[in-house]
Structure 1
């Protein structure tokens, strides 16, 4: 289940991973700080908010704005004043929430935290093709390697807090899952599907008439072998030019609209166990064998239950994080220094 990872990623979206991997090349124009003197250039170290005595700087806010713009595929130049203000408010609220969670999380012990931080930083760094690419990403985000360690520490501390305080205490009852299923049955509709295997004798659309003729003749010869008792899967492994040959031609289940029309029409008209004649498509010549057919139906509750529980758990965890942040904010002292 990825509920914990999803919820944590949404709350601490301003982590080192996001800053480096998600925003390389993004550009966000700095906004003038509220407490700057007239005519004075904005300072990256100026505090825009203070959380229990800990400053959130203009530089941190600008980076947070870059994250939001990048994740929403927005360009700062295309925003009007109102949009820009909303992005800045959202970024500041995320930073405040992150700081509140980090401060609360530091009260919990994490074994070998420093070692885990170094391992995670090395993992982040390994995602870049070269040291030069890594340094370029750092430069574009106005970050240092030390800051990457700081963000990674925050990520781990907050993640541990969310896991122990919220995820571990979030449960979904059978009644809750069943109610969601009954209220949203349209979301559990499964369309008609078939499972089929095929043998493909390739013939490119640009192939000459002679090449196409040879390919078709080969397909017909293979069909003759099948009618004579040859094993379909074994013949597919030896003769099919489709990657599915490794699985004996098995394509798994597929619904309508997933295959080219000629292939789909034939497959859906076959009966389980039946083998088609040679079918021509843009890829060449196919021999299709139907393995199984599933009629359109509503997925049974027991089959859908795990996904429902995961979805509802994620919703509860997200709500729980929001409530916990609100609680921390009420108990603490949060000052907004930038208007």
Structure 2
């Protein structure tokens, strides 16, 4: 069990009994402000903030003074235990420390790369490439009845031709998740549905019912209810999405550059069973 795991019940006890008082507020505390010293080792406000950032969201429900004292007490306890450590660090702990350092430093690089400044010109150019110069696209609002056999599908079509209500038949017969909702699939465009299903929908006129359509899910009877043309969204509506995409692209480019400059040699792992990564006993050797 890690220190981080043990922190949770420790804070729960602090919340229950509320021992210790928060230190008096300083005029301008910063991350180097020392809150405690344990055998010469300083515990700073920065240490406390970093630990607070790693806690689950529910700890935000505690009163600030309780959380403050609990975190400080936890760091004091951890420091005492660390100072009492004797012998060599276990192989398992050493590997965990290496991985955590690797992950933390990698995260810092990711944040610097992805949070780099994006100019309005960058965003405008991406917007025009994605939206402004794109043609309008047809979207479809349809419903379907999913059954296991073509024979059942054709029987349902015959009932519809005889005046039966589509939504009622869907609720009574469809095996798909949309059945209880009368088979309604809402609005969708290209690339959302299975190709054969979408092609059948696109060939219909509003109000028309398809012939049986087979997919890997079974046989479908499809009714097209409406169509519409998509509208180009205003820039401000999609700005956040575009900025996120541009940052992701910057990150991908950065990783590609690092990869191209690096010497990476992968060992032959064909003789290692993939399940080996689940064998925690190896860390104890």
TM band (smaller chain): 0.3 to 0.5
Determine which structure has more spread, i.e. the larger CA radius of gyration: 2
TM value normalised by structure 2: 0.44
> Does 1 or 2 have the higher relative contact order (CA < 8 Å, sep 6+)?
1
